Amino acid sequence: MSAPCRQEALDPQGSATDLAAMFRFAHLSDPHLPLPAVRVRELFSKRVTGWLSWRYRRRRIHAPDALAAAVADLHRAGPDHIVVTGDIANISTAAEFQQAATWLGALGRPQDVTLVPGNHDAYVPVSWSASLGLWGAYMAGDGASPPTSRDDFPLLRRRGPVAFVGLSTAVPRAPLIATGEVGAAQLARFEAMMRDLTDMCRVVLIHHPPQIGGASRHKELSDQRAVREAIARVGADLVLHGHIHRTMLGRIDSPQGPVPVLGVASTSAHPASKYGAGGYNLIRVERDPAGGWRFDVEVRSIRADLGGCDTSGRFHLRSPASRALAA
């Protein structure tokens, strides 16, 4: 596991024993399921670069046995909810979306798993009904129908004390470009939604990291500044992302204090890969007596023998309100 960066966002006073369990959820991302057989005609597009990348590099990183070990460990942990921040697919073929629908069904019921898509899930323009529409039940907000386009994001799911707000950054791009975008219309809906949730722990789900320096130029969130400004205006307690395939910690500055931004390793990364062992994060939430919320983060990393996961790191985060009131 890469050591979390920007340590000022951590709460060094916390301990594993002083947080009473209130609500636990698991965060996983970028499983990149094995690429099924591809028809030649499907490669007459940007897909050819992704296919070559998978054949000669990525399939040695994202191992089915490693993914199975992480998911089995997650199921043993028995979290109250599971969130997935995208990139289940690789090059967005029809077979991949069908395969991923089966995998999601094994991961958990739609009401127990919340999903936002990543850039590999929108690798090329494809019919919604034959692609992301197959995962619609996992992206449907409470009381809402499954989304039929990006216009139906953000999604909102209330689970226990937590309001999960999911943004879509998944847009097709040119070859060798892996950037994402939220867009002005989705951001406006996001701000309105967040203002109605101030009594809950607001956890934002997004594939691309929105913090400064979160990704290189060809992989970044193209409107990251607008996203940061929106979060600064309406606040948030925690932002979770994937995309970088490593555990990383950043922040978004706001008038209430820094909003912690936490990225997770790829759930399928083999321990011998260039990214190191993949896995998932197990996050426990409780209300902070000083105000706001506290998060106990346990990093679960795949063992070298692929027999399960071990705890490779543990740290605590605080929402901006609790930091401000405690100061």
Between CA 304 and CA 76 the distance in angstroms is 19
| 303 alpha carbon, distance to own chain's centre | 22
**Amino acid identity at 167:** L
pLDDT tens across the length of the chain (327 residues) = 333 433 333 343 333 333 344 899 999 999 999 999 999 999 999 999 999 999 999 999 999 999 999 999 999 999 999 999 999 999 999 999 999 999 999 999 999 999 999 999 999 999 999 999 999 999 999 999 999 999 999 999 999 999 999 999 999 999 999 999 999 999 999 999 999 998 999 999 999 999 999 999 999 999 999 999 999 999 999 999 999 999 999 999 999 999 999 999 999 999 999 999 999 999 999 999 888 999 999 999 999 999 999 999 999 999 997 544 444
Bridge-based pairing state of the strands 238-241 and 279-287: unpaired
- pTM to 2 decimal places: 0.92
CA separation, residue 74 to residues 69, 83, 305, 325, 327 (Å): 9, 12, 17, 34, 36
- Dihedral pair phi/psi, residue 286, rounded to 5°: -150, 155
Tokens representing 37 are 């057989």
Q: How many CA atoms lie within 13 A of 118 on its CB side?
A: 27
